[in-house]
Structure 1
Amino acid sequence: MARKNALAPYNAKRDFARTHEPKGVMAKKGGNSFVVQKHEATRLHWDFRLEVDGVLKSWAVTKGPSLNPADRRLAVRTEDHPLSYGDFEGTIPKGEYGGGTVMLWDRGRWEPVEGKSAADIDKGHLHFILHGERMKGEWLLVRMKGRPGEKRENWLLRKIEDGEADTDRVLVDRALTSVLTGRSMAEIAADREGTQSLAGAKGQAFAQKMQAAREHNAALKPEGRKGTRPKTGALPRFVKPQLATLVDAVPEGHDWLHEIKFDGYRALIAVAGVRISVQ
């Protein structure tokens, strides 16, 4: 299973002065987490990772996981990743290894089916159960027979027929947002300050603490106490509310989110100090 220097290839491929990805450090054994990261690099793919012996065993699934047992997805074995990578979401700079946008697409825990174990990976197959937010039930990973001169390790990932299988819905077409932040790939790519990257997380946490402190102070000294009258200015201008619109088709692509809007009433309340207007 995982060797003492299992993360050496991971560290060798990355310049941590340029990327916000975590450095490869071996973790304690015993966990059973799994994570899937949607990765728009040279080619769009989904990185499927299982925690085994203190590292994340990793495969790049070119078309993404499918709930249809008839689909056999190519899963190319990649280098082991550190467990801390399971929280990574952000942008890897262009020109760096794996440069592109990374979304935390699914996460949860996994377990081998009864009678099997993680050691089966070394034998070229793994029958397991996932308890994720999107991927659930029984799955199978099988290593394909290598060809002469082939450098990469090709596997197949497929869903086992069970109560979680689905032949009608395409999972990767309907699951388009992060399970961590609810953002789309476009929104993550536009996050230049890296508020969800490991480097930006510290700054974000500090900003959240400062905001909490301001709110706490405001609660101690609410406006209007000790004879101070609330400020009164001009009422905000009227803004036309968003209404339901009947259309024949919706826009396509991964940059759109859709919601149902029902007919009814839209109420707007404008407030300026003690002045209130309902529109």
Structure 2
Amino acid sequence: MAQQHKSKLIFVVHEHHATHLHYDFRLEIQGVLKSWVIPKGPSMNPSDKRLAIMVEDHLLEYGEFEGIIPEGHYGAGVVIIWDKGYYFSLGNKTPEEQLRNGKIEFILHGKKLKGGFSLFQLKKGGKQWLLIKKQDKYGDKKWKIKLALTAQKKRGLKAKIPLCIK
């Protein structure tokens, strides 16, 4: 396995029930949560290539956000934490350097997402990336994403306005 960069950083995946269900994948880089929308959600199947569209950065505090974004606000709908944990970047470059180069490789330590992953930028300077699970002991060719939102959980959520960086 490639060398791990020693910094332990947070990651979070939000299940976002907005106009369309999607997943917001977030990595702590440079003191903020760099964020990608993944329409089909992340996958533990190394054969899957998931489109990941880079969006605005969010404050680190947003990693704990669960709630209802009110109508009339960007991203209106229900947001819950689908998975969270920490990650280590792979290789000799920091996550910041990897981000600038358009390829981020890392190992996730979450409840659902574990092991090696790569994010590849499709076009230099573009917003479209691919999230791909690396071949390792955590890979699962039969893996299917499962919703985390339940009626009980939804009833306990309060309307809030999220913390994002403009």
Larger radius of gyration: 1
Q: How many Å separate the matches in 2 of 1:87 and 1:43?
A: 22
The one-letter code of the counterpart of 1:81 is H
Q: Aligned pair 1:130/2:108, yes or no?
A: yes
Question: Judging changes above 3 Å, is the alpha-carbon distance between structure 1 residues 187 and 96 closer, same or farther for their aligned structure 2 residues?
Answer: farther
Question: Judging changes above 3 Å, is the alpha-carbon distance between structure 1 residues 131 and 31 closer, same or farther for their aligned structure 2 residues?
Answer: closer
Deviation at 1:113, TM superposition (A): 1.2
Q: Deviations over 1:86-111 (max 9, x none)?
A: 11001101121000000111111111
- 1:10-29 pair list within 5 angstroms: none
Aligned to 2:28: 51
Aligned-residue sequence identity (percent) comes to: 44
Q: How many Å separate the matches in 2 of 1:185 and 1:57?
A: 27
Q: Aligned pair 1:139/2:117, yes or no?
A: yes
As a proportion of its length, which structure holds more strand?
2
Q: Which runs of 5+ in 2 are unaligned?
A: 1-6, 162-166
Q: How many Å separate the matches in 2 of 1:145 and 1:186?
A: 40
Deviation at 1:31, TM superposition (A): 5.9
Paired residues of 2:8 and 2:87 also in contact (CA < 8 A): no
Within the candidate set 84, 87, 96, 2:73 is matched to 96
Q: Deviations over 1:13-54 (max 9, x none)?
A: xxxxxxxxxxxxxxxxx7611111000111111111111121
Within the candidate set 94, 118, 127, 1:153 is matched to 127
Aligned to 2:156: 191
Paired residues of 2:8 and 2:88 also in contact (CA < 8 A): no
Aligned to 2:3: none
Aligned to 1:32: 9
What is the root-mean-square deviation of aligned Cα atoms in Å? 2.1
Higher relative contact order (CA 8 A, sep 6+): 2
Q: Deviations over 1:60-113 (max 9, x none)?
A: 111001111110000000111000001100110112100000011111111111
Q: How many Å separate the matches in 1 of 2:16 and 2:50?
A: 16
Q: Which runs of 5+ in 1 are unaligned?
A: 1-29, 178-183, 199-279
As a proportion of its length, which structure holds more helix?
1
4+ aligned runs moved over 4 Å, structure 1: none
Aligned pair count reads 154
